Structure 1
């Protein structure tokens, strides 16, 4: 049988103990039968995405997980965001991962780094208004702006003598003054010039957004204005091996061909940079409302090597792939927001428990449920994947992990390790068998009850012969480690131990190339 790896990454899945969850983490408090079944049938451990004690970004974490030391290859996240958003990048271009934000012009204080997550309708309109904006003092610089997801957009500047060795304009925390871009080295003329370009661009964008009718309407409606774009993570594109800078994923890993489903622009940009095939799936939006069913279907379809569905759009030639990478984003957003009001809105849309109202800062049981619900949606999506792949023609090994911890109380990435599980589907199938009755998941919109997969039942040991039981026990013991749940503290006891993220691709290579 042809070997395959199904890699599912749950962005920001790690957390810390929460008193409202009886001092459990959200992952430990969630109902995750499929994740738990894989943990029971595989091996578990804890991973530091880059290194112990480092709170890393998703871009640096993914580079490290894919086998590229970010200390060597990282040049800022802006280029990844721009490429993933659909902006082309040429040598010498500088790009930014950017936020629509709210600025108090009287004090120059950034009141909200994220003006609003619900930008799907107005974001493209505002980006179109900013695209091609002119800078009077730099007529030789071209500006391109393109909408990404939620409150995010990509900004690219193109022109002579530009450098990414500058600071961005993001203060990183609400209610702090807007940062003025500066060159890291005042003796670097290209960096000094670029910082001046960025500062003029920031002011020009602010003026254009302030005068835009959309913001006038938002003022009338009592909504936060989006009168600023924070220019974050300036970066230049990394070039793959043909430009003698970065080896492609396949060349670095023994010819392994990989595809990626990642609606989040920055992760898509990382994959494109490394030469991974990118598949875009309608409805997979990378936010709270992303269609997990569509993602699961496309993921399995591509991993099985079937012809692409008509609705797909691939960024590279498709063909037989040995590894599929599926990125899930919404859970990380819920932690970054740390906002009961946003959680209430989602709970009302997706949960039967939501007839409640609560003052800001107070989490009712339904709000607590909402955080778990996002994890549970990911678990049910995993059930769809298992239900299809377990009877397929390939020898599939499943990897499930996060890229960093994002505690709800911190609202940002932190340095705690994340749980990892590795499970061959053969081990999963030996321990579980499919059952006829379908379970229901009424509070998840995009996983209809009629398509909700069953968690297979444990095999009837009494029906096996003594020898069969002995063989089964030996086979299971070769992979299992006694961990029966997927979670931070459960993984601590796993056979994989604690290891850096750079080891993940060595495990993938061991599965596919040995």
Structure 2
């Protein structure tokens, strides 16, 4: 068992006759009893794994009950932390690397460990980004600078990347990378916490970070040695009214960096500050009564008529609706056919 991010941890069970096809112990709702893992098929492996996980769950509770922190909490009349909710069981599989599949040298900034784990499984280098925490305290500027540095090498020193098994960062590719993935988790957290103001302010902060990333990349592209493309999307919605993941198609935006700069105006990009800024702090659960937006004039540059980034607006876009498995194909086709 290893600590991950916020309240999360990773639990690894190794041995023969195991399966990832079991349910979890998390009831997914407050004030409900802890569940028992159940096999999701009739195989011996699934039944065996469910039994192992249920036994593990009992042992975790025994250890937690006797922990000094919990004993102190009990003496103070406070609730104790006596369970670990186990969910999302799976088995790591061998898959072709991202580089082999797409012919690109990839890197990512992903302090959220489940995302970083997916990246490592695909052979994607995990970049160091000081102050990036994967929660509300994260420094978005650090993420933008880390990705930009990796994508502008060799004009920059080699970025530092995570080395699995050594728990530290070492110099990455000297020649740099040509695909960067920047993950932001805090907006999802605000949805789970039903913190409407925080989610709005957080999205405004993401806008600011996108501007910082664009400025850094544009400085490199202006040298004539690089050409960049920006893609903004998500993996799911987390509505504040619901407080959990939902199933709406997510918006997807793709453009050449030069077109982005042309749309917002290079003079506006020049004044973007590259100073670090924290995500706004708003208490979870606070509801908003009125939000005043001043977006200015929204115009699309070219491609289609969409000028806003949300589920409803994106549905009118020229790409229509497509499964996530086609996303990289869409991106590479756009790069090849439009600007080769």
**The TM-score by the shorter chain falls in which range?**
0.7 to 0.9
Query: Which secondary structure state, in structure 2, belongs to the residue aligned with residue 233 of structure 1?
Result: coil
Structure 1 counterpart of 2:307: 484
Aligned match for 1:277, one of 125, 140, 144:
125
Q: Deviations over 1:131-176 (max 9, x none)?
A: xxxxxxxxxxxxxx10000110011112333332322212222222
For 1:293 and 1:410, locate their aligned partners in 2 and report how far apart those are by CA, in whole Å.
30
Q: Is the 8 A contact 1:282 1:294 kept in 2?
A: yes
Query: Which secondary structure state, in structure 2, belongs to the residue aligned with residue 168 of structure 1?
Result: coil
Q: Is the 8 A contact 1:264 1:286 kept in 2?
A: yes
Structure 2 counterpart of 1:507: 330
1:248 and 2:105 aligned? no
For 1:429 and 1:373, locate their aligned partners in 2 and report how far apart those are by CA, in whole Å.
23
Structure 1 counterpart of 2:254: 422
TM-score between both structures, scaled by the size of structure 1: 0.55
Question: Aligned in 2, Cα 1:436/1:260: closer, same or farther, shift over 3 Å?
Answer: closer
TM-score between both structures, scaled by the size of structure 2: 0.80
1:194 and 2:45 aligned? no
Q: Deviations over 1:305-356 (max 9, x none)?
A: 232356x545595343221000000000111122xxxx5xxxxxxxxxxxxx
Which runs of at least 4 in structure 1 moved beyond 6 Å after TM superposition? 439-443
Structure 1 counterpart of 2:157: 307
Unmatched runs of 5 consecutive residues or more in structure 2 = 165-169, 281-295
Q: 1:438: Cα distance to partner? A: 4.2
Q: Is the 8 A contact 2:21 2:40 kept in 1?
A: yes
Question: Aligned in 2, Cα 1:301/1:446: closer, same or farther, shift over 3 Å?
Answer: farther
For 1:173 and 1:196, locate their aligned partners in 2 and report how far apart those are by CA, in whole Å.
23
Aligned match for 2:30, one of 169, 174, 182:
174
Structure 1 counterpart of 2:216: 388
Q: 1:437: Cα distance to partner? A: 8.1
Structure 2 counterpart of 1:377: 205
Q: Is the 8 A contact 1:279 1:314 kept in 2?
A: no
Show the 5 A alignment for 1:149-298.
Answer: 149-186=5-42, 188-219=43-74, 224-239=79-94, 246-253=95-102, 255-298=103-146
Aligned-residue Cα RMSD (Å) equals: 2.9
Q: 1:412: Cα distance to partner? A: 1.3
Q: 1:236: Cα distance to partner? A: 1.1
How many equivalent pairs are there?
306
Question: Aligned in 2, Cα 1:222/1:404: closer, same or farther, shift over 3 Å?
Answer: farther
Unmatched runs of 5 consecutive residues or more in structure 1 = 1-144, 240-245, 344-367, 448-456, 459-475
Question: Aligned in 2, Cα 1:398/1:161: closer, same or farther, shift over 3 Å?
Answer: same
Q: Compare the two structures and name the one with the higher strand fraction.
A: 1
For 1:385 and 1:443, locate their aligned partners in 2 and report how far apart those are by CA, in whole Å.
12
1:401 and 2:224 aligned? no
